[in-house]
């Protein structure tokens, strides 16, 4: 099979050196391995700009959704009520989780191309004092919009509620001062902006709120408190851990530091993103979000207005030439998506845009 680079928002293209880490079968109860887990936890706290005194990190087996489900079903007790803010499929997935778990919840739905409004969240908190937790997505990978979690966090804190953020596709690629923005639980995963491979999610949690959740979990394997209690002793995971993924993640963190940390990574992603939008615009392909709310991670593009355009044909054409892109996920328009995170540089964006140009020319001559 011909190889290609991923222009999808995770799994994404990782370095050879990250992949190579997975060639070793590490023992799980061994001290070196437990130390790797502890180092990862400490470094994630640093990236989140929080201290060990107030926050802690829990690693959880499974993909990102397992992390979100672990938080929602572990910290929201039977007398609590959750407000879910949703403007895309991942916000709606939180509703799905809440429904499955039988949580008491309500939703504030915003259109997919609009950022949720902090004052609307505030009004909901004022009108229903039984709400104890607010959950929302930072980078809505459905559309590529970057939601204003800072403003919503401030509103949530003014009312003394707990704030849960799905920062799956932004953490590491966008700087998030977790405490300053009032975030109590932040969820992300190994295979997004840290540029590791899929296999676990991680939760940056306020220690006092995590401790207060003891005994509330509705699931055994996703019990956030129990997972933390075991892991916090000396870095031993509660159940079998994805050892190869953990080793790759430790290497990915190291490479992130070498690149210049979140600042440098964020700059690279932003430049990739701006170059992509500019070059696509030259071809008459425009973003669904655009403007100040377009995030630096992934862009949703409208189909070009040419009378016959087939995403499938373009996908195959691009794949044949070394890149894999993403279909659209917004419901009300015909779109496709291009991610620009992972081991992706300016040259890749330029090459991709040349391929798209070639495709459109060939297609329109047929």
Smallest distance, Å, CB 365 to ligand PLP?
Answer: 37
Nearer of residues 165 and 280 to ligand PLP, judged by Cβ: 165
Smallest distance, Å, CB 59 to ligand PLP?
Answer: 14
Point out which residues pair with 323 in neighbouring strands: 5
Smallest distance, Å, CB 84 to ligand PLP?
Answer: 13
Interface residue list for ligand PLP (CB under 6 A)? 9-10, 63-65, 90, 137, 141, 166, 168-169, 189
| CA-closest candidate to residue 83, choices 13, 159, 181, 168 | 159
Closest-by-Cβ residue to ligand PLP is: 64
Smallest distance, Å, CB 326 to ligand PLP?
Answer: 11
Point out which residues pair with 206 in neighbouring strands: 55
Is the Cα dihedral 185, 188, 193, 196 positive or negative?
A: positive
Nearer of residues 143 and 243 to ligand PLP, judged by Cβ: 143
Smallest distance, Å, CB 338 to ligand PLP?
Answer: 15
Burial class (CB in 10 A: 0-12, 13-18, 19+), 21: buried
Nearer of residues 64 and 182 to ligand PLP, judged by Cβ: 64
Q: What is residue 304's DSSP assignment?
A: P
| 145, containing H or E segment | strand 145-146
Two structure tokens written together for 29:
């109860």
Nearer of residues 82 and 360 to ligand PLP, judged by Cβ: 82
Nearer of residues 189 and 243 to ligand PLP, judged by Cβ: 189
Neighbours of 132 (CB within 10 A): 17
The end-to-end CA distance of the chain, in Å, is 28
């Amino acid at each position: 099979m011909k190889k290609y680079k991923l222009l999808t928002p995770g799994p994404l293209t990782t370095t050879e050196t990250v992949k190579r880490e997975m060639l070793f079968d590490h023992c799980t109860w061994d001290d070196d391995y437990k130390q790797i887990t502890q180092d990862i936890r400490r470094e994630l706290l640093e990236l989140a700009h929080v201290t060990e005194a107030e926050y802690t990190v829990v690693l959880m087996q499974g993909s990102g959704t397992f992390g979100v489900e672990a938080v929602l079903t572990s910290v929201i007790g039977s007398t609590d009520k959750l407000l879910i803010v949703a403007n895309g499929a991942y916000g709606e997935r939180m509703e799905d989780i809440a429904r499955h778990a039988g949580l008491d919840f309500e939703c504030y739905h915003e259109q997919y191309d609009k950022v949720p409004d902090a004052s609307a969240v505030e009004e909901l908190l004022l009108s229903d004092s039984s709400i104890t937790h607010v959950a929302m997505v930072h980078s809505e990978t459905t559309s590529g919009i970057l939601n204003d979690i800072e403003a919503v966090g401030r509103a949530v804190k003014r009312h003394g509620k707990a704030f849960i953020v799905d920062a799956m596709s932004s953490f590491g690629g966008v700087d998030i001062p977790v405490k300053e923005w009032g975030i109590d639980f932040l969820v992300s995963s190994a295979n997004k902006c840290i540029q590791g491979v899929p296999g676990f999610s991680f939760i940056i949690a306020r220690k006092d709120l995590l401790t207060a959740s003891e005994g509330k979990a509705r699931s055994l394997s996703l019990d956030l408190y129990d997972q933390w209690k075991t892991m916090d002793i000396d870095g031993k995971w509660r159940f079998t851990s994805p050892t190869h993924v953990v080793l790759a993640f430790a290497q990915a963190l190291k490479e992130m530091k070498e690149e210049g940390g979140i600042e440098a990574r964020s700059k690279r992603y932003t430049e990739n993103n701006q170059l992509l939008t500019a070059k696509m615009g030259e071809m008459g392909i425009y973003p669904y979000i655009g403007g100040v709310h377009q995030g630096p991670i992934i862009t949703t593009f409208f189909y070009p207005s040419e009378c016959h355009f087939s995403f499938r044909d373009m996908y195959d054409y691009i794949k044949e030439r070394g890149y894999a892109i993403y279909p659209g996920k917004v419901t009300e328009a015909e779109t496709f998506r291009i991610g620009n995170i992972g081991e992706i540089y300016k040259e890749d964006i330029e090459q991709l845009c040349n391929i798209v140009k070639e495709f459109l020319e060939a297609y329109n001559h047929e």
